[in-house]
């Protein structure tokens, strides 16, 4: 652990937490809903994901068996508000089939796996990439893995913390190598970065209202 980088990352976290307060992510009633939401939120605004989740709940299909009982066309119609609905229906059906076959729909058995074996299994399922897998592991499994998304990359880059390896893994190591492996910390930190990226550190940043501006090269350019 690089103590200097660790201190910088913790200071960023403290400033964001002071500004925005606890985010209490993930907004879901139970763990399987988190998994479905993680798949549906790919290239979608959360407000539209909520509409799709509400459709599944109203139809009584927000469960592994419920998803498997639907045809692809039926499922696509229910998740239509989330966009790319035909592809997302295939992804949800693929996950539900895999989960039933490998774990008999038992979430406790699924999350008994350690982080890396669990991650490898999820990445082998159709439609689940690194960000989605890590969202499932962190928010549904409550295991310490840091989720990297476009907001996180943007904020890290503007703060001058871009890792030498600009891959997903490179950005992830910035956090996992220099912060304690704490699921609660990773959960709150990622949620705060998303909030900051949406409201302040936008594509056209609002540096005048940014709590990170005093130490941000972008704000002081």
Cα 145 from Cα 29, distance rounded (Å): 21
Last residue of a domain, one of 140, 156, 181: 140
Residues 93 and 44 both lie in one domain: yes
What confidence tens digit (pLDDT) does each residue in 65-79 have?
Answer: 999 999 999 999 999
49 and 74 belong to one structural domain:
yes
Is the domain of 152 the same as that of 180? yes
Measured CA to CA, the distance from residue 55 to residue 66 in angstroms comes to 12
Is 221 within the bounds of a domain? no
Q: For residue 8, is it within any domain?
A: yes
- 213 sits in the region (left: phi over 0; alpha: psi -120 to 50; else beta) called alpha
Range of the domain at 128: 31-140
Predicted confidence (pLDDT) per residue in 126-154, tens digit: 999 999 999 999 999 999 999 999 999 99
Whether 220 is covered by a domain: the verdict is no
Is 90 exceeded by the pLDDT of residue 184? yes
204 assigned to some structural domain: yes
165 plus 203 within the same structural domain: yes
Interatomic CA distance for residues 183 and 166, integer angstroms: 23
- Give percent of the chain with pLDDT exceeding 70: 99
Give pLDDT tens digits for 5-61.
899 999 999 999 999 999 988 888 899 999 999 999 999 999 999 999 999 999 999
Query: Considering its fold, how many domains does the chain have in total?
Result: 2
* 82 lies in the same domain as 173: no
pLDDT(1) > 80: no
CA distances from 55 to 49, 50, 68 (A): 10, 9, 16
**CATH number where 206 lies:** 1.10.1670.10
Look at residue 220 in the predicted model and tell me its pLDDT: 78
Please give the average per-residue pLDDT across 166-171, as a whole number: 97
Instruction: Quick: pLDDT tens for 194-218.
Output: 999 999 999 999 999 999 999 899 8
């Amino acid at each position: 652990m690089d103590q200097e980088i660790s201190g910088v990352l913790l200071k960023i976290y403290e400033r964001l937490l002071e500004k925005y307060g606890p985010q209490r992510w993930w907004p879901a009633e139970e763990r399987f809903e988190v998994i479905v939401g993680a798949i549906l939120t790919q290239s979608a605004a959360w407000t539209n994901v909520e509409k799709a989740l509400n459709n599944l709940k109203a139809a009584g299909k927000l469960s592994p068996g419920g998803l498997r009982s639907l045809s692809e066309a039926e499922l696509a119609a229910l998740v239509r508000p989330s966009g790319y609905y035909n592809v997302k229906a295939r992804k949800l059906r693929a996950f539900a089939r895999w989960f039933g076959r490998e774990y008999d729909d038992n979430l406790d058995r699924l999350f008994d796996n350690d982080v890396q074996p669990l991650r490898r299994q999820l990445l082998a399922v159709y439609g689940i990439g690194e960000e989605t897998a890590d969202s499932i592991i962190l928010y549904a499994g409550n295991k310490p893995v840091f989720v990297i998304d476009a907001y996180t990359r943007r904020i890290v880059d503007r703060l001058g913390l871009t890792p030498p390896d600009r891959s997903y893994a490179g950005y992830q190591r910035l956090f996992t190598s220099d912060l304690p492996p704490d699921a609660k910390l990773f959960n709150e930190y990622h949620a705060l970065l998303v909030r900051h990226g949406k409201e302040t550190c936008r594509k056209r940043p609002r540096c005048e209202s940014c709590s990170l501006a005093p130490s941000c090269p972008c704000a002081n350019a």
